[in-house]
Amino acid sequence: MVNIDIIRQKSNELNAILSGDDPFPAFENFFEQNTDIFWDCYNLIHCLHYCDFTAVLFDEFMLNAYSKEQLSCILQYSSCAAKHLSEKLKSDKLTLSRKALIYGWILKRRGRHSTKLYHEIDYSIAHNPWRSCLLTELRSLLKKDLLAEFEIKRLLHGDRFSITYVKYCLIYESANILCYLLDKHSQKILEYITLNDLVVLVCEKFQSTEAAIKVLRYLENKYLTCVSQWHNEHGENLLWTTLFSRDDALRTELIHLGCDPDKKNDLGLSFNLIMENTPEKWQKEVKQ
């Protein structure tokens, strides 16, 4: 373990370098000589250079000035400059692999498309709980995704369809009941949540891969191409929603349903290219 006094001493050296008029030659030498403790040093003084230095540093990377190890480290630990980078991504000076690495980093910090909608549904349920004994029982059956029992109890008590059922299905990931309700009440449900928002929410928020796959298969079968041909404003298909949060099973299913992993977005990047150029993979490659 490195002595804290050494880190403090090196941090002061780094601070002096970054405060100079032309820090990059000296910075490169410092990085090469102190790679093992670089981020310990930088973390002690980063608040002094949080915006200005990081922005300029990324400008240097636009020119491919630094190694894979340096770029992957910066992306791994830095938490700013996303806006700055977004404006630079269309530069012809960037190689595709660097563009993929940087864009993946931006996406990871941008957050998920469905987060706001999911929180709105969760908030609605939390602040408008079911009160009656019947509805409490139905909620229990929804949570367990017991379709037959749910529908029998609902019909025996003359209960009408409610969008609240759909909200609970989305929060509890009740795939069987959700697909059944879509079959019976699709018009009302799609007035509440669009098909585009529904498929993204299932991909991004369902923790159960099995439940997600069941709903996606149903939707693709019922609403032809709603999964396979879905894309956002950047030309990215549903595979992109799995970049940082899903196991291979859901990705495999999306490809089976027709999502092309080599389809390029408006920056000329594909899902496969992003997956091949993560900071973790670059660092692994450097270590080997």
Model pLDDT for residues 26-48, shown as the tens digit of each residue: 777 787 788 777 767 766 665 44
- Top mean pLDDT of 1-5, 12-16, 79-83, 190-194 is at 190-194
> What's the Cα-to-Cα distance from 236 to each of 16, 115, 226, 243, 256, rounded to whole Å?
43, 18, 14, 11, 17
Which of 117-126, 203-212, 222-231 has the lowest average pLDDT? 117-126
The answer to whether 23 and 53 are in contact (CB under 8 A) is yes
Q: Which of 149, 233, 222 is nearest to 186 (CA)?
A: 222
The answer to whether 257 and 220 are in contact (CB under 8 A) is yes
Q: How many CB atoms lie within 10 A of CB 164?
A: 17
Average pLDDT over residues 165-180: 94
Q: Which of 284, 281, 279, 288 is nearest to 107 (CA)?
A: 279
By three-state DSSP, how is residue 17 classified?
helix
The pLDDT value recorded for residue 14 is 79
The span from the CA of 215 to the CA of 175, in Å, is 6
Q: How many CB atoms lie within 10 A of CB 65?
A: 13
> What's the Cα-to-Cα distance from 144 to each of 99, 140, 206, rounded to whole Å?
44, 6, 15
The span from the CA of 181 to the CA of 169, in Å, is 10
The span from the CA of 209 to the CA of 253, in Å, is 10
270 φ, ψ to 5°? -110, 165
Rounded mean pLDDT of the chain? 78
Which of 84-98, 166-180, 237-251 has the lowest average pLDDT? 84-98
Q: Does pLDDT of 75 surpass 70?
A: no
Question: Bigger pLDDT: 13 or 148?
Answer: 148
Half-sphere exposure (CA, 13 Å, Cβ side) for 78? Answer: 25
Average pLDDT over residues 219-245: 91
Q: Does pLDDT of 283 surpass 70?
A: no
pLDDT tens sequence across 147-163:
999 999 888 877 788 88
Beta bridge partner(s), residue 264:
270
Q: Which of 208, 205, 166 is nearest to 183 (CA)?
A: 166
Residue type, 86: S
The pLDDT value recorded for residue 157 is 79
Residue type, 158: G
The percentage of the chain sitting over the pLDDT mark of 70, rounded to a whole number, equals: 70
Q: Does pLDDT of 51 surpass 60?
A: no
Average pLDDT over residues 179-186: 95
User: pTM score, two decimals?
Assistant: 0.71
> What's the Cα-to-Cα distance from 166 to each of 182, 188, 274, 287, rounded to whole Å?
9, 10, 34, 49
Residue 155 sits at the vertex; the CA angle it makes with 151 and 159, to the nearest 5 degrees, is 105
Q: Tell me the domain boundaries of the chain.
A: 4-111+281-287, 115-231
Q: Does pLDDT of 259 surpass 80?
A: yes
The span from the CA of 123 to the CA of 181, in Å, is 22
The pLDDT value recorded for residue 117 is 82
